Amino acid sequence: MNREELKEKYGKKRVPHEWRKTDWFTTLVVTFFGSGMSPKAPGTMGSLAAAIVAYPMAILSSRYWFQYTHVINEQTTGTRSYGLFLVAALIVFFASIPFVKKAMKDTGTEDPGWIVIDEVCGIFMSLAFIPAEIIIAHPWILAAAFGLFRVFDILKPLGIHKFEKFSGAWGVMADDLLGGFYTGILIWLSFIAFPFLG
């Protein structure tokens, strides 16, 4: 056998992944820095990556983001940071639409599994109603947000499946935003019902 025949028979074949059909920056965005390229459970990997990134975001939020002082009986009981994850979720949602649209157009796909920027949006929305300081003090909240969000994302109850039917990139992003909203409400209600958690 000559070199070409040996290469063809024994050489490592390059897997023709769909995302190679679009540009590298679009791929970077929609796969959330490659987490969506996981051969197994890319949505779970994208959600996990977002939950991991959320912790340092919470730390930055507690130091530099808008804060308000909670006052009871004219005594300061603590300063808590709100709003960063809500803003982050909305920015990711609207900023990702053109990239998701381009990725699907370039690759000829409809909501492929490797597009996970929608899961990132959902995870951020899941944390939108919890102060950053509580997330820092109780990292299990990230695990709870991750687990609950994946349930909503997979099962798509409470009208989430209807949002998935929106046209093009809007449908890809909207159902995860709503799933994140439901997750966030459940986590927030758990702190209302069990105040000792915070």
More reliable by pLDDT, 1 or 97 = 97
CA distances from 55 to 7, 51, 106 (A): 46, 7, 34
pLDDT of residue 53: 96
Question: How many other β-carbons are positioned within 10 Å of the β-carbon of residue 98?
Answer: 12
Question: How many other β-carbons are positioned within 10 Å of the β-carbon of residue 188?
Answer: 13
The model's pTM is 0.84
pLDDT of residue 71: 42
| pLDDT tens, position by position, 102-136 | 999 999 988 899 999 999 999 999 999 988 888 99
| pLDDT tens, position by position, 51-99 | 999 999 998 887 766 555 444 444 444 556 778 899 999 999 999 999 9
pLDDT of residue 94: 97
Q: Of 40-49, 64-73, 156-165, 188-197, which gets the smallest average pLDDT?
A: 64-73
Amino acid identity at 116: V
pLDDT of residue 186: 94
The whole-chain average pLDDT of the chain stands at: 84
| pLDDT tens, position by position, 34-48 | 999 988 899 999 999
In whole angstroms, how large is the CA radius of gyration of the chain?
Answer: 20
Q: Please state at what angle helix 140-155 crosses helix 168-193, rounded to 10 degrees.
A: 130
* Cα distance between residue 67 and residue 22, in whole Å: 41
Dihedral angle of Cα 155, 160, 166, 170, to the nearest 10 degrees = -90
pLDDT of residue 176: 96
pLDDT of residue 174: 95
Nearest Cα neighbor of 124 from 197, 192, 65, 46 is 46
Q: If residue 185 lies in a helix (H) or strand (E), which one and from where to where?
A: helix 168-193
Query: What is the residue-wise DSSP string for 102-170?
Result: HHHHHHT-SS-TT--HHHHHHHHHHTTTS-HHHHHH-THHHHHHHHHHHHHHHH-TTTHHHHHTSSHHH
Residue 166 has pLDDT above 70, yes or no: yes
pLDDT of residue 39: 84
